[in-house]
Structure 1
Amino acid sequence: MTSPQLLPIASSRDALRLTGAVLGRRRAAMLAAAAAFAVNGAAGLVAPWMLGRIVDAVDGGGTPRDVVVPALWILAAAVVVAAATTLSIGLLARGAEPALAELREQALDRAVGLDAARLEAAGSGDLLSRVGDDVRLIAESITEVVPLMVNSVVAIAFTAAGLFVIDWRLGLAGLGAVPFYVLGLRWYLPRSGPSYRREREANGQRAEDLLTGVHGSRTLRAFGLARAHQERVAESSWRSAQISIDVFALLTRFTARGNRAELIGLLLILVTGFVLVRDDAVSVGAVTAAALLFHRLFNPIGAVLF
């Protein structure tokens, strides 16, 4: 049996160009969603800031009002965050879901218009994997990953600014984690692209072998090739599974590097804060707020990186 000539995989540049084209035609909804995400990010700063004020109030022997007022601010911010999150996801869906429908139409149109000889060489399994698995992944990205990514980028920007507003030295301490994130990315990116590409190609080959076995079962039995094709299906399935395991192992090792950067950044803020508090340069509450703000970055940075 000859190996199929799988359909080409789009480059990152081509994918970004297509994404920009389909989303650009829905600019109003996307800009409104971005504004709602910005409100969400700004409101998310209130809780760490107010907790820092509560720490200062307790440390300085403040009145009950000094604790109750910040607590009310935290409650109000939580309401704003909930409302902004709901609004932003709804606005994003209004812009992204029609874009996804357009993408599906383009994929189907391209699939129908494929040259018969080229499709025969690639195999129907590869095409099925593209219009099935790939489009499903894009749909999941639009409904789950894109809101998380946008919200994370906004949260990172606002939180980083908040650190410098509290004290520029605490902000610089937080930036000390950046080189370790960069080192993790330099290790991960050259390995991740080829790994994910091999995974998609292996999934396409597996689908092709399965479809061949289903549609050509009588022919395979007639020529005594059923056992050989079963072995081929088992081989392609195991290869797909093994590559998926390798991709997950790669992601796990990258996660460990991200955790190392988080630990170093938090320790730098705490050590810097200890020195500043000892010299009466900042209050304990300010350091508490800075540490909580940096801790708040763990999930957004993880979402952007992973």
Structure 2
Amino acid sequence: MRLPLASPALTGKRLLALVRSYAAPMTAIVGLQLLAALSAVSLPWIVGDIVDAIGAGTTRQWVLGRIGIALVLVALNFILVWLSDYKSRTLGERLFAILREDLVDAVVHLPLSTVESAGSGDLIGRTTHDIDRVQMMIRRGLSAILVLVTTVLVTLVAAAIVSPRLVWVLIAEIPLVVLVAKWYVPRTIPSYQASSAVVAEFSGVASETVAQAETVDALRLGPTRWAKYDSLLAQMWRLERYGAWMRVFLFVGMVIVTLSPIALLIALGAVGVPAGWVSAGAVTTMVMYCYQLRVPLWEATFWSDELQFAYTSLQRIFGVDLVEADRRAREGATGGGAIVVDSVGYAYREGAPVLHDVSLTLREGETLAIVGPSGAGKSTLGRMIAGIHPPSSGTVRAGGVDLVDLPEKELRRTVVLVTQEHHVFVGSIAQNLRLAAADADDDALWEALRAVGAADWVANEGGLEMRVGAGGVQLPPARAQQIALARIILMNPSTLVLDEATSLLDSSSARSVEQSLARVLQGRTVVAIAHRLHTAHEADRVAVMVDGRIAELGTHDELLALGGEYARLWKAWRGGD
């Protein structure tokens, strides 16, 4: 599954709304650009005036006066362009910051099921490659497009005043540029969309290979991964080569379109000046105007190319917001109290249910162990209890409130899931821990580390300010898991779901950490999805899952006496101990 793309209409609407949010500074920028354009078009007018005056025999003082006015206009144009550029760059940075923040907000609030099915490549591509492509357009492109549009309009108006008979040459240039663009754009947008998708897939393959380098090496998957790289690189090469050829054709077309009018004006001047229907000064001014138009028209083609890149990326960026939420949070809803699972069913894909009519009531303050064979649905039930996935049927409530009705912040105060998967963020140990409790003091951090058996190695290797992650100490999986568990202690939820959360620790360390957690979390409800049955032995109750259903529920001793599935699992585990 890929994340959706925003439609062209929606993309334009979102971009326009972003710009409208800064209407006042945008108006000021347009005003400065208009003044700059007026000062720029005045120079050819003055030059043409000087040419005609010299031909008529004007005085030296008059010419020097016009040259002085031209120099003042050049200085004024420089100041106006500088101010406009400064303000447009500042505004571009603000707009781009909003865009990035909105994207990050949308990504971190994506339903976990969507993240897992979409894969890391698509998300990495949208948050890196696509945001980089948009960066230039937002920071510079929007203001640059305003500049060139203003310059073209002011130049055409000035040309019409100078010579109504010759202005059609300049006006005819515009539809020719439009024709070139209309030929170019439809042939490039599909390739840019395909290129973005391939780059996203390449990013995913690369990140997965690096993250699982040991697995790739152990299973000798190197040739397979290289073959995948080669295939993606070949696709990228074909798409980039196609885009390059399109840009070559665009370049040639624009050279013809922008230089031909200059040649035509010179030819018309050669006929019109002797015939008396146009002055030499007017021809000079029109040629200068035509030459001036080359810059904005060339920029128009450049920005049209950049606009296609950026527009494609904006469709992918805005598409993240189109993912439907898997919860319907009610403002003010609270979820204190016992969690009740009522007739819950769940299917990751239609027609393949994983849970079947599961009902379970957690008692406040108890430790419930969920055991069963692989594929029985233990982890899926844990996700239901933690509110990660809303059930396909039935309800999961906390204190009588459906978990999908709880705002995200309240949900995480109510119940938290810890899995065997973990991540250490770039930064210090303290920064990693304070992600769970921003206002926690150092004493609270050390207490959490002691509870998970990590205080000694943290103290010996740099303390709370030890840098970890990329560019710092690379923590082995077992230690990273301890940091993840310490974060959960700092979060202090009412209910904690542990899905093989100590699986990366050896048996002795795992048991010690679990006992420490039990002491720290005393009074909290703990659901432990266990692969080591000593967890079940020490739990208040044990739920045995088979084929997506709770087959047995009771204490350790009750289930052993029952002689059913749990008794068989216990016997097999003890026999292999």
TM-score, with structure 1 as normaliser = 0.91
Deviations 1:34-82 (A, max 9, x none): 1011111111102211221232233334322232122212211111111
Shift of 1:114: 1.9
- Structural mapping, 1:133-282, within 5 Å: 133-282=129-278
- C-alpha separation in 1, matches of 2:198 and 2:171: 40
- 2:64 pairs with one of 61, 65, 68: 68
2:287 paired with 1:291: yes
Letter in 1 for 2:273: V
Residue 295 of structure 1 and its aligned partner are, at CA, apart by: 0.9
Q: 1:14 aligns with which of 10, 21, 25?
A: 10
Cross-structure match for 1:78: 74
Offset from partner CA, 1:123-160 (integer Å, 9 cap, x none): 21221121122222222223322232111111100111
The amino acid across from 2:193 in the alignment is R
The yes-or-no answer on 1:47 pairing with 2:43 is: yes
When Rg is computed on C-alpha atoms for both structures, the one with the higher figure is: 2
Q: Distance in 2 between matches of 1:30 and 1:74?
A: 29
Q: Distance in 2 between matches of 1:146 and 1:72?
A: 34
Q: Which runs of 5 or more structure 2 residues have no equivalent in the other structure?
A: 303-577
Measure, in 2, the Cα distance between the counterparts of 1:217 and 1:41: 57
Question: Are residue 116 (structure 1) and residue 112 (structure 2) matched?
Answer: yes
Contact kept, 8 Å, 2:47 with 2:285, in 1: the verdict is: yes
> 1:32, 1:163 → 2: CA distance?
26
Give the Cα separation in 1 of the matches to 2:71 and 2:139.
28
Q: Please give the alpha-carbon distance, in whole angstroms, between the structure 1 residues aligned to 2:232 and 2:135.
A: 26
Q: Which amino acid aligns with 1:221?
A: D
On the 8 A contact 2:40/2:73 being kept in 1, the answer is: yes
Q: Does structure 1 residue 103 correspond to structure 2 residue 91?
A: no
Shift of residue 195, structure 1, vs aligned partner: 1.7
Q: Distance in 1 between matches of 2:279 and 2:287?
A: 13
Alpha-carbon separation, structure 1, partners of 2:191 and 2:7:
14
Q: Is the 8 A contact 2:191 2:243 kept in 1?
A: yes
1:29 aligns with 2:25: yes
C-alpha contact 2:52 2:281 (8 A) present in aligned 1? yes
> Over aligned residues, Cα RMSD in angstroms?
1.9
**Matched residues in 2 for 1:270 and 1:73: separation?**
27
> Is the 8 Å Cα contact of residues 177 and 264 (structure 1) preserved in structure 2?
no
Letter in 2 for 1:89: D
1:94 Cα offset (Å): 4.2
Show structure 1 runs of 5+ residues with no match: none
Calculate percent identity across the aligned residue pairs: 24
Q: 1:258·1:302 contact (CA, 8 Å) conserved in 2? A: yes
Q: How far did 1:179 drift?
A: 4.0
Could you tell me how far apart the structure 2 residues matched to 1:145 and 1:25 are?
17
Distance 1:90 1:179, change over 3 A: closer
Shift of 1:228: 0.9
Q: Could you tell me how far apart the structure 1 residues matched to 2:96 and 2:159 are? A: 38
Hey, what's the Cα distance between the residues in 2 that align with 1:10 and 1:240?
23
Between the aligned partners of 2:196 and 2:61, the Cα distance in structure 1 is: 59
Structure with the larger RCO, 1 or 2 (CA within 8 Å, 6+ apart): 1
CA offsets, 1:231-269, max 9 Å, x none?
Answer: 211321332243223212211211211111112222332
Name whichever structure is richer in helix by fraction: 1
Tell me if 1:56 matches 2:46.
no
Deviation, structure 1 residue 20: 1.5
